[in-house]
Chains A and B, each alone.
Chain A
Amino acid sequence: MGRFFSVLLWVAAVAVGTGLLVNSGRTIVGISAWVGTMALANLIRVPSPSGGRISLIGGAGLVGVVLLDSVLMLAGVFLLGLALARLVSALWQSQPSTDSDLLGTVAGLGVLILVEVADEWITGSFDGEPQWGTLGLVLFAGFAWFIADAFVRILGAVPVGKTSIRYVWLTALEDWPVMVALFASAGLFALAEPVIGWWALPVAGVPYAISHVSFTLLAGTRRTYGQMIRALSRLPEVAGLSPDGHAAGTALLASTMARSMGMHPDDVTRLEYAALLHDIGRITVEDPSEEPEHSDLARWGAEIIRQAPYLSVVADHVDKHDDPYRRPGEEDDPSIGLEPRIIKVASTFDRANRIHGMDAVEALEVLHRRTAYDFDPAVVAQLRSVLRRSGRLSA
């Protein structure tokens, strides 16, 4: 059923695209070059800071806005380019674009059509010096595409309901460097091509390529850094000083809670690292048969982590993760941030579950009983709603 509709959708896209181009007055070769460029741009994807992959079609579309004669032509080559890219990825069995990708791209096309209409209006209003107006349009188009893309991501995430809208929004905003590099390069090409011809390709393409390489390197380096923290977090488990899978289990629970609370993506990453490493202090334990004080373990762990300057915030979280969230006679201890509170709740729940074999309700009860000092009731409530949504706790 889904497949049938998908094929129908693409046939319709091709039909509409072709229809729009019939009376364009351009040669077949010219149109094919534009369609090929759009398709290629949609197939090339750059790893973005938020962990996704962004296609370059927005940039190619922007070049179309400036260099093509009409809105109809822009929409025509855009749709045919998308269809061609879909066909190529289906033939090569590469990752097909998802529905939300398509939705985002079509929303982007809408933005570009609006810009094209505005272009016709603004170009007419700037006498003699139309280029500054074009620059303004380039900036506006990039910004509008970026915001439209973020909204589409929110629309995609809302039905799933696992993360907060704020988190999805902040994650989408993380991708600004890629968007800026893409639209600035596309704008440069569009402005330079009519004057210097094909020289515009290296002029805009090489700086973009340098950015593309650095985004790819950054994504790869971030991934391997995460892998390394994960590997180091397993040292106490391999040494038999902590139950197998406890670090990963705590981190998963903690980061899910943080996302559903709408925490900033960078803070979520740091919290995840802290949750992974919260038991690292156990490696310094001399005699495995003796259980040291938990607060000592937290301090030793923080000492180890603090050796890496990049992880100083993570070290602070680990340092405080075993402290009570309030002191006697006070309502709250403001020196204990939200992250250590989350780690404490997630770790205790995971231990109760993993070592003592308690089910979710029993483990949650353990936490509830100690909400006077140890566990922040607000965080425990958050855990309960996360467990409900994931189906581990019946509603």
Chain B
Amino acid sequence: MSPSLRSRLLIAGMYGIAAAALLAVLAVKTTFPFQWEWLFFGVAFGAFQSLAVEVNDRLRASPTVMIVMTAAVIFGRDSAAIGAATIVIFGAITPIDLKERRWFQPLVNAGQFVLSAALAGAVISVALPTGAFETSDIGRVALGSAIGALLYGAANLSLVTLAVRTVFRKSNLKPWARMRSLVPSQALMGSLGGLLGATYLMVGPVTLPLIFTVFLVGHLSMRAVSQLREAHESTLGGFIKALEAKDLYTRGHTERVAYFSQITAEEMGFRGDALDRVRIAALIHDIGKLAVPRTLIRKKGPLSEEEYQHMQEHAHLVEDILNEVEFLAPMVEIASGHHSRFDGGGYGGTGHRSGEPPVLESRILAVADAFDAMTSTRSYRLALTQEYAIAELRRSAGSQFDPDCVEAFVRALAATGERYGSPSLDNDDEARRGAEQEAHIA
């Protein structure tokens, strides 16, 4: 049995047994909610779970926690925990799991959902009144639902992290940094769920179609936002990839620089929109070249003064055009600033601030760009080793590069365990001679 399969069986077994044991205890000690609402909320949970939307790592729109809370309140004090813990099973299997015949994900999902929802349901049952529901109970239930939702989120995240760490051996996960940013939305959705449950109990089932309609519409619209945001990036990335494909030497460069920038920025604490900005800035960092005649870009040997001016003018024109796109404007500045040196010298684009270092995002991008340039083969030089590139970055730290960004990049790269560049070529002169010889042979 392979170690991967063993760890999968271990996690799935642990979660499955814990969930089954908990359900058995709840079945004996509490009352199962035999009512049509159980089926309704189960189906709703499953549907919204498969429609979950992640706009970025900060903005995640999924009303599933609200559904759990609403259902728990409606089931009442005696059935909240077991009711909540059982409706979530509807969300454990996704259509992809069925299509790809996966057993591990659905089992782990079912286990962690049941455990988290039972916890949230238990909190709700404490907040619910013993007798009939009164208006004076609403505040307490809303507060209880907020706490329940936070515990649901925390338990969910911990169990998923444990599973991913054990099975996929990813040690660089930082779930708690993520949880902090999710707290406000989780608490809001939770208390709203409690309020909706209370409304249902007091006003009647007539409110149910309205509640779900508003949520469905809002959620579908958020889904459209998320798809369109993805489209922004895939359109920019796609265009650049297609154009790079024409040029053997820069193929994949932009994607790699975007990746290196992202892991460095994450290491330095960037999250959400700030992280997206760095990645997209990296995608467009070379876009100016698209409008420069190819003969100039591919020219071997140094450019004449006139040619250099010509190239800069084109790059500036492209910067001006992209600056008109609202969401790209800040990224154009970052992309443009990556040519500047940490000590304030260098090229004078939009993002250049003479005598001052460029913005932090540009400094990250500069490190990522230089690392990829050294570890990939160019028309004038063969690829060098990763060790050579890192030593070179460290040598220029403080003058050309920001030392903090260099170290953050080195740490982030080490955590991924990936390797780039030549396995052995660690001499710049040799690499340049090699490229000349290759050009000669060609």
Contacts and interface: CB of A to CB of B under 8 A. Distances in A.
Binding partners A and B: yes
Interface in A211-254: 211, 214-215, 217-218, 221-225, 227-232, 234-236, 238-240
Contact of A228 (B138, B290, B317, B325): B325
A307 B240 CA distance: 9
Interface string A370-388: 0000000000000000000
Contacts of B237: 307-308
Given A181-B217, A214-B225, A228 B232 contact: yes
Given A221-B232, A239-B314, A284 B243 contact: yes
Interface in B223-268: 224-225, 227-232, 234-239, 241-243, 246
Contacts of B326: 223-224, 227
Interface size range of chain B in the complex:
35 or more
B272 interface: no
A192 B199 CA distance: 7
B201 to A, nearest CB: 10
Contacts of A89: none
The DSSP consensus for interface residues of chain B is helix
A304 B204 CA distance: 55
Nearest to B139: A199
B318 interface: yes
Contact of A199 (B198, B210, B292): B198
B228 A222 contact: yes
B40 interface: no
Interface string B325-338: 11110000000000
Contact of B290 (A192, A195, A202, A239): A239
B322 interface: yes
Interface string B185-228: 00010001001101100111011011101110111111011011
Contacts of B230: 310
Contact of B321 (A134, A199, A234): A234
Contacts of A191: 203, 206-207, 210
Given A217-B225, A308-B239, 17 more contacts: A131-B206, A132-B206, A134-B206, A188-B214, A191-B203, A196-B138, A199-B135, A207-B211, A207-B215, A211-B217, A214-B61, A225-B232, A232-B239, A235-B318, A304-B242, A307-B234, A309-B238
A309 B231 CA distance: 8
B291 A235 contact: yes
Contacts of B232: 221, 224-225, 228
Contacts of A181: 213-214, 217-218
Given A218-B221, A239-B291, A308-B231, A135 B199 contact: no
6 contacts: A180-B213, A188-B214, A228-B327, A283-B290, A304-B242, A307-B234
B97 to A, nearest CB: 23
B321 A304 contact: no
Contact of A238 (B239, B243, B291): B291
B214 A211 contact: yes
B348 interface: no
A110 interface: no
Given A188-B207, A191-B210, A308-B234, A224 B227 contact: no
Given A196-B199, A202-B192, A218-B224, A207 B218 contact: yes
Contacts of A174: none
B211 A188 contact: yes
Interface residues of A, number: 64
A256 B295 CA distance: 38
Contacts of B215: 207, 210
A287 interface: yes
Contacts of A284: 243, 246
A180 B198 contact: no
A319 to B, nearest CB: 14
A286 interface: yes
A235 B242 CA distance: 14
A177 B221 contact: yes
B242 A303 contact: yes
Contact of A206 (B192, B219, B290, B294): B192
Interface string A191-203: 1100111011011
Contacts of B199: 188, 192, 196, 199-200, 203
Contact of A227 (B188, B217, B325): B325
A165 B321 CA distance: 36
B423 interface: no
Contacts of B210: 135, 138, 184-185, 187-188, 191
Contacts of A140: none
Contacts of A292: none
A185 to B, nearest CB: 5
B318 A238 contact: yes
Contact of B214 (A138, A185, A239, A240): A185
B418 interface: no
B238 A308 contact: yes
Contacts of A229: 235
Contacts of B239: 232, 280, 304-305, 307-308
B324 interface: yes
A196 B207 CA distance: 13
Contacts of B219: 214
A251 to B, nearest CB: 15
Question: 10 closest pairs, A vs B, by CB?
Answer: A307-B238, A211-B218, A310-B231, A308-B238, A308-B235, A239-B291, A304-B242, A214-B221, A184-B213, A214-B222
Contact of A310 (B135, B220, B234): B234
Nearest to A303: B242
A19 interface: no
Nearest to A227: B325
Contacts of A197: 135
B317 to A, nearest CB: 5
A288 interface: yes
B184 interface: no
A184 B203 contact: no
A215 B218 CA distance: 8
A375 B321 CA distance: 33
B322 to A, nearest CB: 5
Nearest to B227: A310
B238 A238 contact: no
A288 B291 CA distance: 12
Given A187-B210, A211-B214, A218-B221, A307 B242 contact: yes
Nearest to A310: B231
A286 B243 CA distance: 12
A58 to B, nearest CB: 15
Contacts of B231: 225, 308-311
Nearest to A189: B210
Contact of A231 (B221, B293, B324): B324
A151 interface: no
Contacts of A185: 210, 214
B192 A221 contact: no
Contacts of B213: 180-181, 184
